[in-house]
Every structure is written in structure tokens, then in C-alpha cells.
């Protein structure tokens, strides 16, 4: 899928809305199981496990009743499979099911997106490990640019 368009060209229409209640798409990273995009909320226990991994993660804070979250869902799903963003692990947190995580990250509006770099040493510092943050609806193009820039920061 290309997120770039020339004047007069329609944006790729392969973006489709996905059900928020579907089963999670699972993948394995260093023998730990995580969930992709808006498929299923992670728990506080999952977050503690992530501290022991190294890598870059997009945290998507959302809720099932949130209209803007539903708009972003197909964009997140599509970008989670974009080869340019393969270094980013996509996870989501349902703020209603995990209010303590939303509180820990001081999420006050949804959707909220945070790009986090874990060092794999079991620690997490909000001041240095959160490398980028966006709130609200963005176009697919703008959101990809946000992720690409965050990935550059993560790798520097």
C-alpha cells in the first residue's frame, strides 16, 4: 500500500474498517506474546514484560466507544504491516479495561499514540523512553510520517 498520492489521484482504498471485537492477531518476539494494533488491549503485566525487551513500540490508547479511535483503527492496522515500519511493534491499550496503564501514562484524550523505546534492562523512564507522542485523528500519510520520524529518533 502506498500512502503517497499525486494530485488528482485517489488515496489507496484498501483501508477497511476492522471490528474492534475480533480476536487478537498474535506474534512472538523473544518468546513473549503481544498483540497487534487495535485487536486486543494489553495488561499491566504485559507492560512489565515489555520492559525486559529491547525495541521500539507504538502504544495505541483507545476505547471501543471512541469514534476517532475507530477512524484510526484501519490506518493502524495497515501501517502495522508496512515494510518501512517493520522495526516498530504495534500494541494497544483499551483505556476502559486498563485504566491503571492509562493513568500511569497520563492519557487524558483518546486516541493517544506513544512511541516508546525499551532498552531491555527492565526499566522504564517516561522522560527518556517515550520518544514521540500524538493525540487525535491523523491522515494515513501524516501518521506514517509521525512514525518514520519517531523511528529515526529511536535509532539515533
Q: Where are the domains of the chain?
A: 35-155
Q: Are 58 and 134 in contact (CB under 8 A)?
A: no
Of 24-28, 89-93, 128-132, which has the strongest mean pLDDT? 128-132
Instruction: Kindly indicate whether the domain formed by 35-155 is annotated with CATH number 3.40.30.10.
Output: yes
Residues 86, 109: Cα–Cα separation, whole Å? 27
Q: What are phi and psi of 26, to 5 degrees?
A: -105, 150
Taking residue 68's Cβ as centre, other Cβ atoms within 10 Å add up to 16
Active site residue 66: yes
Catalytic site residue from 36, 69, 72, 147: 69
Active site residue 18: no
pLDDT in tens, 97-126: 999 999 999 999 999 999 999 999 999 999
Q: Is the pLDDT of residue 133 over 90?
A: yes
Catalytic site residue from 36, 41, 66, 150: 66
pTM (two decimals): 0.73
Amino acid at each position: 500500500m502506498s500512502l503517497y498520492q499525486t494530485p488528482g489521484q485517489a488515496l489507496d482504498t484498501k483501508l477497511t474498517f476492522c471490528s474492534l471485537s475480533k480476536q487478537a492477531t498474535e506474534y512472538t518476539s523473544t518468546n513473549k506474546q503481544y498483540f497487534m494494533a487495535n485487536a486486543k488491549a494489553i495488561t499491566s503485566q504485559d507492560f512489565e514484560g515489555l520492559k525486559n525487551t529491547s525495541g521500539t513500540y507504538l502504544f495505541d490508547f483507545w476505547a471501543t466507544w471512541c469514534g476517532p479511535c475507530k477512524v484510526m483503527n484501519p490506518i493502524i492496522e495497515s501501517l502495522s504491516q508496512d515494510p518501512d515500519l517493520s522495526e516498530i511493534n504495534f500494541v494497544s491499550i483499551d483505556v476502559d479495561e486498563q485504566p491503571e496503564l492509562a493513568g500511569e501514562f497520563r492519557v487524558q484524550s483518546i486516541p493517544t499514540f506513544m512511541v516508546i523505546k525499551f532498552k531491555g534492562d527492565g526499566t522504564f523512564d517516561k522522560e527518556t523512553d517515550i520518544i514521540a507522542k500524538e493525540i487525535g485523528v491523523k491522515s494515513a500519510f501524516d501518521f506514517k510520517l509521525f512514525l518514520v520520524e519517531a523511528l529515526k529518533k529511536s535509532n539515533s
